[in-house]
Amino acid sequence: MNADKKVKILATLGPAIRDATHIRQLVEAGVNLFRLNFSHGEHADHAQRYQWVREVERELNQPIGILMDLQGPKLRVGRFAEGKVQLVNGQSLRLDLDATPGDASRVNLPHPEIIEALQPGMSLLLDDGRLRLKVTGKQADAVDTCVIAGGELSDRKGVNVPEAVLQLSPLTEKDRRDLAFGLELGVDWVALSFVQRPEDIVEARELIGGKAFLMAKIEKPSAVQHLEEIAKLCDAIMVARGDLGVEVPAENVPRIQKDIVRTCRQLGRPVVVATQMLESMRFSPAPTRAEVTDVANAVAEGADAVMLSAETASGDYPLETVQMMSKIIRQVENGPDYQSQLDVGRPQAEATASDAISCAIRRISSILPVAALVNYTESGASSLRASRERPKAPILSLTPSLTTARRLTVAWGIYSVVNERLRRVEEVTSTALEIAQAQDMAKRGETVVITAGEPFGQPGSTNSLRIETLH
């Protein structure tokens, strides 16, 4: 088991990854789970990539998570009679429900939800924020705007509405079809785009029905405002810095990222930092120094995982990108201040036996030279609470459930082994020592801390801790 880093790598699959051999190379280089981006590709493409991952999982006898990322609503302007127009600062532009091709004075906005939500004084962003409009007036079927930052605007460019909450479900008809397909395949995680409010999580949960874990993508200002409520309702959070960086001032993104990581750690929810982490490696075998620093900062802040998007999906150097990200993670984690920084941000424990034991193993691993922390879990809940503490030693999670093992691949420091269901704490001790040695996580003479609980199979029942030396 390659457990030499605690922060996980989530890599996106796409046309650059052509077979199971490529996927195996990425896993051996440090990838822990893979993303299927349903904004691109056909169902047959995703099914093939899913099968490749499962093939590698069987070959390596190592749980590998699979996350499906739903596209969400895509808000766009309509078409222009000449394909594009040039907007000048200070000019007027009407956005309306008329499907007639537009010109420099008006264009179709086929989204009545946007028109309904906008009010005079609000901003509209077009083409990933390259153009900016200010709403000056509103009618039932149109809004009048003034161009604040002009430029060329062509057919079907995207629209962002940072200052309004739209009465729009995050799940389009396409998303619902994709979700049904992904759940039938057997994905472990579902990433939900366009989250604006806690109710969006409730809606998605009802559709998923417990068949996968739910990860909310934070990419809207309204989601940032409701972050804690949203995080409590989902299983993990993704800091989706691409769209977030369009809808909020760019200088605010680093602070928001830190706030999200801190909140998720306090709540015990895994958090993924995503978008443009090693973007230049799409076309270059080496990253920029700024990108290296960006990844290092996410690791130092305490993120559970960092994500690669186009770098592995369609880039020229997917393997080199993963190798570079693994090097950065290990370099930060081996630094003299990494553990002390994590300890400073340690979350407040809840008054439960499970949290008391999790706090204890963190403290023990900082006092004794502990090789591994072994936890027996069925649901994964106790392993996640141990991960929340960010202990110095890696966490070996023993579980009888392959589903649980796959879902834990996103969490900081947890490496899972699927073994038969155990019935007594004594069985856990002997099995833990045997597996820790077999997985090269502990050697003879080294110390292993083992946690479990009775009654078995009941989440939150962790109530025993043993310190053992491997003989």
Q: Are 376 and 422 contacting, i.e. CB atoms less than 8 angstroms apart?
A: yes
157 catalytic per annotation: no
Catalytic pick among 145, 275, 377, 429:
275
Unique residue bearing structure tokens 């990838």: 31
Q: Are 420 and 448 contacting, i.e. CB atoms less than 8 angstroms apart?
A: no
Please tell me whether residue 394 adopts helix, strand or coil conformation. coil
Closest CA to 21 of 59, 47, 72: 59
CA 305 to chain centre: 7
Token couple for 163: 């200052």
The rounded distance, in Å, linking the Cα atoms of 197 and 194 is 9
End-to-end CA distance of the chain: 21
The rounded distance, in Å, linking the Cα atoms of 306 and 241 is 12
258 catalytic per annotation: no
Using only C-alpha atoms, the chain has a radius of gyration, in whole angstroms, of: 24
275 catalytic per annotation: yes
Catalytic pick among 5, 6, 35, 269:
35
134 catalytic per annotation: no
DSSP assignment string, 1-35:
---S-SSEEEEEESTT--SHHHHHHHHHHT--EEE
The rounded distance, in Å, linking the Cα atoms of 240 and 182 is 21
The rounded distance, in Å, linking the Cα atoms of 347 and 389 is 7
Catalytic pick among 24, 49, 106, 217:
217
Catalytic pick among 54, 74, 76, 211:
76
Catalytically active residues, by annotation: 35, 76, 217, 275
